[in-house]
Amino acid sequence: MAMANTNVLADVISANEFPSFSAQHAVQAVPKTVVNKGGEILGARPEGRFVSEVLLSLGIEPGAPALEPQ
Amino acid sequence: MAFLRPADAVRVKQRFDEELVGDVRLLTFIQPTTGLFVPGRAETDSGRQTEALLREVAELSDRLHVEVVNPREDPARAALHGVERFPAIVVQSGQVEGETGSQETEKRGRVRFFGLPSGYEFMTLLDTVVNASRQETRLTPASVGLLDAIVEPVHLQVFVTPT
């Protein structure tokens, strides 16, 4: 996703090596994806669903027309 | 100690030969171990292991470069990349022909790894290197289209464990 959209910064964090940071984000099972510190996605998903859930957690309706018509 | 079994090294090299197009730099922030034992605080050598693993992988392609930065000696560089935990690997593509990045010209990588990328994460790292080299995404056109709706910075943090 980071390669597809330059606005996306993607981190892969080894939860075992950063226990206190993981605890801050209440990581109890992996994979856990935190979106902008607020949203979260637990577990793995097929690609399309994962993308949709990331968008939803940002308040974007997947597939809705772009907000900024040129 | 080699991390990759010889057969795996051959496979990785073959993949790099076939798929790498542009240069990729793995900008790696490692805090050297202090040798001090602090109760309740584990001092692992995952930093040293990370450096050894990346150097071994970089041996497999001329397109892949590893630069190791000690964040204590160059905190500005770590701050530039927003890196506060170590070891950290910032995957950078383009214009990395051996020079070390200056703060003025250095692009911020958009994919970062925190901790030793072992197990399945090693495969993720290889995929990321290939994607960065080719400046491509592996997502379907449908997903890429959906992601066009993101017009402001988004930070995804994926917590994983080695498997």
Mean pLDDT, chain A, whole residue set = 90
pLDDT lower than 70: segments of chain B? 1, 35-44, 95-105
Residues of chain A with pLDDT under 70: 64-70
Enter the DSSP assignment of B61: -
What local confidence, expressed as pLDDT, does residue B134 receive?
95
Of A7, A8, A11, A42, which to mutate for an interface test with B (greatest number of B Cβ within 10 Å)?
A: A11
Compute the distance between CA of residue A19 and CA of residue A26 in angstroms, rounded to an integer: 10
Q: Which residues contact B158 (CB under 8 A, 6 or more apart)?
A: A10, A11, A12, A13, A31, A32, A33, A34
ipTM score assigned to the predicted complex: 0.91
Please answer yes or no on whether B114 and A13 come within 8 Å at the CB atom: yes
Kindly report the pTM of this predicted structure. 0.90
Residue B18: left (phi > 0), alpha (psi -120 to 50), or beta? alpha
Go through the domains of chain B in sequence order and give each one's CATH number. Answer: 6-99+107-147 (3.40.30.10)
Residues 6+ apart with CB under 8 A from B144: A4, A5, B137
Domain boundaries, chain A: 15-57
pLDDT at B2: 83
> What's the pLDDT at A64?
67
The model's pLDDT over B108-132, given as tens digits with 9 standing for 90+, comes to 789 999 999 999 999 999 999 999 9
Q: How far apart are CA A44 and CA B76, in angstroms?
A: 35
- The reported pLDDT for the residue numbered B103 is 45
Rg of chain B's alpha carbons, rounded to an integer? Answer: 17
- Min Cα–Cα distance to chain A from B14, Å: 23
Cβ separation B156–A47 shorter than 8 A: no
